[in-house]
Structure 1
Amino acid sequence: MSPLKTAVVGSGYMGGGIAQMLALSGAQVALADVTAEIAASNYERLIAEARQFVADGLFPADAVERISSLVSPAESVEAAVADADFIEEAVPEKIAIKHETLRRISAAARPDAVIGSNTSTIQIGALAEAVDKPERFLGVHFSNPAPFIPGVELIPHQATAESAFALAEGVVQATGKQTARVNDSVGFVLNRLQYALFSEASEIVDEGIATAADVDRIVRTTFGFRLPVFGPFAIADMAGLDVYAFCYESLQTRWPERFATPPSLAAHVEAGEFGTKTGSGYLDVPADKTAELVAYRNRAYVAMAKMLAELGPAPLG
């Protein structure tokens, strides 16, 4: 069976990392940029990066050989996409640049080629305006650094065909990534949450409540410590949704609108659904599974603490 033919348009660090992942999954990758010279230079960079990743034990021993045999710099965007089954656009986060690039891609690609955009925040429906046959288009949002962050947002717009979504999902999952389907909205999920946290963290520093370094330390060593294992709804269910409701009431003594109790939380509490302790909440974990869940949580946190101790502190100065 011949390798899947893919193209990555935009050969910077995000595009290069995506190309590495596609190649390591066995896909053939054509790498394109504004000029053939830039594509060729960035190809050399991503090969050098792969060599360093192998030396650091981050990539398999044969990664350089696999990537160099499957990735090739293209003479142009049109040449890169002409025979591709799947195309990932990874150009700068400006709608005008993305529109121009997507017009070139959709004009030169096969009619059945699926096109993904690595946009971080721009609505997919707005980008789809530049795509011929927009039913084959969706958001495929990798995170930086693409080789090492395991989650990818898949964002269909109103006209995206299920067949296009399924192909993109298969391509991404073949790289070993975990995918989540997200409805089309500005910022999607990742950056809507990430920037909400940053805004609140910045206000805390601006108010003089804590320094930036201490805010980072608190996030890393408290609720952020939980996040690699559990998402916000699992954390809330385990803490107790009734407890969350009380905490919202406390926060409302200063910020009644900013920290208004979420309607879904109020509904759960009113129904007596307090999370794992009642066996019903956002995730409906059965009450008889609570002890097993708590034991898993504790093992996970101890394992994370050991891993962080082995890594040592980040070199932030």
Structure 2
Amino acid sequence: MSRIAIVGSGYMGGGMAQVFALGGHDVVISDVTAEIAAANLERIRTETAQFEEQGLFAPGATDIITARISAAESIEVAVADADVVEEAVPERIEIKHETLRRISAAAPASAVIGSNTSTISIAALAEAVTRPERFLGVHFSNPAPFVPGVEIIPHAGTDEATIRAAEEIIAGSGKVPARVKDVTGFVLNRLQYALFHEATQLVEEGVATPEDIDAVVRSTFGFRLPFFGPFAIADMAGLDVYAFCYASLQGTFPERFATPAILAERVAAGELGTKTGSGFRDIAPERIAELVAYRNRAYAKMAQLLDELGPSPFDAV
């Protein structure tokens, strides 16, 4: 068990506090004033009780949260004896720099310091951190209690031990850590905004409405994404099929859909995905039937879940 300080107690910070507390850690939250931190603590407790009542948290979650999350009167008090500090203040570099300076000055020299930034360079943020080798990005998605993935983003000077410690705490709290490099937008937002950019172009070109594009995404390739990422999906479709589709798209959009070099290289080498046993994600031939059975079961379960939930308020008539 570690003592974790969350600096910035809004909805993201509060959600992370819930995750860590339910993962077995003692958590202290802080904010620009003691009053804001105390008010957010009450909100966290109220939300937890609601989540437990709705069956979103396990029975007993409210008692755990009440016992393990507290509010500090200042940032300095919150981080004074923390093993891990997670910064979750607004996405402005000057605010984050000032906060990280305060954290660095007050936290133990051994404390791991993470930032929940979604787009700001970790190296740029590290400029405000004393002993920057203990600093890295730890990027949760909203809502933090329910979205499992967390980007772990070291900068060039982050110690390997710091990275491993962050990965272990995230995994031990029931989340899925993914280590990515410190580039603008990291992985999550580069992919998310690439999809959104193409979707807006389809609307601007009059191809489909936002409502119909949303319907296509969530009921076709988006339907697969909870189970398989883009490389696994490509391997199952066949990388030669992908190469052919890129060639077709290039007839109208030669620059927008240029064939990726790493795709062309694999096709040229005869690495066509699942059907050849190697592609972006290798799989032994004897496990292909198991993979197909898993895929079919997963998609059928997803269809059942969506039917059980019914349409979202966006789509309900």
1:133-162 CA-to-partner distances (Å, cap 9, x unmatched) read 000000001110000011111011111011
Alpha-carbon deviation of 1:53?
A: 0.1
What residue in structure 1 maps to residue 142 of structure 2? 144
What residue in structure 2 maps to residue 192 of structure 1? 190
Amino acid at match of 1:224: G
1:268-283 counterparts in 2 under 5 A? 268-283=266-281
The more displaced of 282-291 and 112-121 is 282-291
1:141-290 counterparts in 2 under 5 A? 141-290=139-288
Match of 2:125 among 124, 127, 133: 127
Amino acid at match of 2:34: A
Secondary structure in structure 1 of the residue aligned to 2:37: helix
Alpha-carbon deviation of 1:289?
A: 2.4
- What 5-or-longer segments of structure 1 have no aligned partner? none
Secondary structure in structure 1 of the residue aligned to 2:275: coil
Percent identical across equivalent pairs?
66
The more displaced of 211-220 and 285-294 is 285-294
Match of 2:102 among 96, 101, 104: 104
1:256-276 CA-to-partner distances (Å, cap 9, x unmatched) read 111110000000011111111
Alignment RMSD: 0.9
Alpha-carbon deviation of 1:165?
A: 1.2
Secondary structure in structure 1 of the residue aligned to 2:281: coil
Structure 2 distance, partners of 1:284, 1:28, is 41
Structure 2 distance, partners of 1:37, 1:151, is 31
Secondary structure in structure 1 of the residue aligned to 2:274: coil
- Large movers: runs of 4+ above 3 Å: none
1:172-213 CA-to-partner distances (Å, cap 9, x unmatched) read 112100111111111111111001001111111111111101
Alpha-carbon deviation of 1:288?
A: 3.1
- What 5-or-longer segments of structure 2 have no aligned partner? none
**TM-score with structure 1 setting the length:** 0.98
Amino acid at match of 2:29: L
Alpha-carbon deviation of 1:290?
A: 2.1
Amino acid at match of 2:157: A
Secondary structure in structure 2 of the residue aligned to 1:58: coil
Q: Kindly tell me the number of residue pairs found equivalent between the two proteins.
A: 315
Structure 1 distance, partners of 2:171, 2:100, is 24
2:68 maps to 1:70: yes
What residue in structure 2 maps to residue 57 of structure 1? 55
Structure 2 distance, partners of 1:92, 1:212, is 29
Secondary structure in structure 2 of the residue aligned to 1:104: helix
Structure 2 distance, partners of 1:48, 1:95, is 31
Alpha-carbon deviation of 1:293?
A: 1.3
Alpha-carbon deviation of 1:60?
A: 1.5
